[in-house]
């Protein structure tokens, strides 16, 4: 299996083949996502919430994204990996945007970057794409602006907001974005945006009319705590409970001396020069 390419991604939209995207933040999760056939792995700055324990994505740094992207790329060498540019790393002029995106690719190993925002990012997107850096857009609820928006709520509910989002989608396409994530927008608007542009839309809480879907690794597995509106999430497993039960049993067995047993131990007379640890 080889990684998805941008031309193939466009073909998936044209042939109405849904795109399955999932976040991952480390080596084992990326490996499992690749084995399961995920089309695109997103190293989302949601890692600030789900693996680093912050309340928002605002504290996540470029270095955090590089560190986690490296682990993901090692775990999923045959999958397209997109990394989020974190808060304020693409808002200080095109030169620093390019420098930061280049680091995510050169040091992190990302194949593409994602930016939150609309038409105001056209210059940034043009500079990145002309330097060979593929850009995924992100419209609707943009968590990096949560302090400005004032909460995590559905976007595009009135006609003024909806019209602006449609124009933003067209502006991102025109600037060279290869796709757009639509987060928490009404199903009707997401479908209209999907029809009005030639690049794929990938929805999260954006209904059934998008070209693909994205969810957060920890949300679909019920692993840890989250802050997102759970109506948009479907959980396919509950590994949080599985892990807690296993750890409880481990602690209990240590306390009661049920673990380790003879078979886990290395008596002197059986140890040879090489120890088989498997």
Sites of contact with Na ion (CB under 5 A): 44-45, 84
Q: Is 183 annotated as catalytic?
A: yes
Helix (H, G, I), strand (E, B) or coil at 114: strand
The three state secondary structure string of 201-232 is EEEECCCCCCCEEEECHHHHHCCCCCCCCHHH
Nearest residue to ligand KIV, scored by beta-carbon proximity: 44
Please identify which residue in 13, 19, 22, 23 interacts with ligand KIV, judged by CB under 6 A. Answer: 23
Say how many C-beta atoms besides its own lie within 10 A of residue 31's C-beta: 17
Please identify which residue in 26, 29, 33, 44 interacts with ligand KIV, judged by CB under 6 A. Answer: 44
| CA pseudo-torsion sign 266, 269, 270, 276 | positive
Distance, in Å, from the CA atom of 211 to the CA atom of 108, rounded to the nearest integer, reads: 27
Say which residue the tokens 């990012």 belong to.
121
Distance, in Å, from the CA atom of 90 to the CA atom of 100, rounded to the nearest integer, reads: 8
Determine, following the binding rule CB under 6 A, whether residue 45 of this chain makes contact with ligand KIV.
yes
- Residues 69-128 close enough to bind ligand KIV by CB under 6 A: 84
Give the nearer residue to ligand KIV in terms of CB position, either 236 or 250.
236
Determine, following the binding rule CB under 6 A, whether residue 136 of this chain makes contact with ligand KIV.
no
Give the nearer residue to ligand KIV in terms of CB position, either 49 or 97.
49
Contact status, residue 179 vs residue 202, Cβ threshold 8 Å: yes
Q: Which residues contribute to the annotated binding site?
A: 45-46, 84, 114, 116
Q: Lay out the site mask for ligand KIV across 138-177 (x = CB under 6 A, - = otherwise).
A: ----------------------------------------
Give the nearer residue to Na ion in terms of CB position, either 173 or 183.
183
Distance, in Å, from the CA atom of 103 to the CA atom of 107, rounded to the nearest integer, reads: 5
Which of 163, 183, 188, 249 does the annotation list as catalytic? Answer: 183
Contact status, residue 105 vs residue 65, Cβ threshold 8 Å: no
Q: Lay out the site mask for ligand KIV across 188-217 (x = CB under 6 A, - = otherwise).
A: ----------------x---------x-x-
Instruction: List, by residue number, the catalytic residues.
Output: 183
């Amino acid at each position: 299996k080889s990684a998805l390419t941008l031309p193939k991604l466009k073909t998936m939209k044209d042939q109405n083949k849904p795109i399955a995207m999932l976040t991952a933040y480390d080596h084992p999760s990326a490996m499992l996502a690749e084995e399961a056939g995920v089309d695109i792995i997103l190293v989302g700055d949601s890692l600030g919430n789900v693996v680093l324990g912050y309340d928002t994505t605002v504290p996540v740094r470029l270095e955090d994204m590089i560190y986690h992207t490296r682990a993901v790329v090692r775990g999923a060498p045959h999958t397209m990996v997109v990394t989020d540019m974190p808060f304020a790393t693409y808002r200080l002029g095109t030169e620093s945007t390019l420098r930061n995106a280049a680091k995510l690719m050169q040091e992190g190993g990302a194949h593409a970057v994602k930016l939150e925002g609309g038409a105001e990012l056209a210059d940034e997107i043009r500079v990145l794409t002309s330097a060979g850096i593929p850009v995924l857009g992100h419209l609707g609820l943009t968590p990096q602006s949560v302090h400005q928006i004032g909460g995590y709520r559905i976007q595009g509910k009135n006609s003024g907001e909806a019209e602006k989002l449609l124009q933003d989608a067209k502006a991102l396409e025109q600037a060279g974005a290869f796709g757009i994530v639509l987060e928490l927008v009404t199903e009707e608007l997401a479908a209209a945006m999907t029809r009005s542009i030639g690049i794929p839309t990938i929805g999260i809480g954006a209904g059934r009319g998008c070209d693909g879907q994205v969810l957060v690794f920890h949300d679909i597995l019920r692993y840890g705590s989250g802050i997102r509106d759970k109506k948009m999430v479907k959980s396919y497993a509950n590994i949080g409970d599985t892990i807690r039960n296993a750890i409880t049993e481990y602690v209990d067995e240590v306390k009661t001396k049920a673990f380790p047993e003879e078979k886990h131990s290395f008596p002197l007379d059986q140890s040879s020069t090489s120890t088989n640890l498997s």
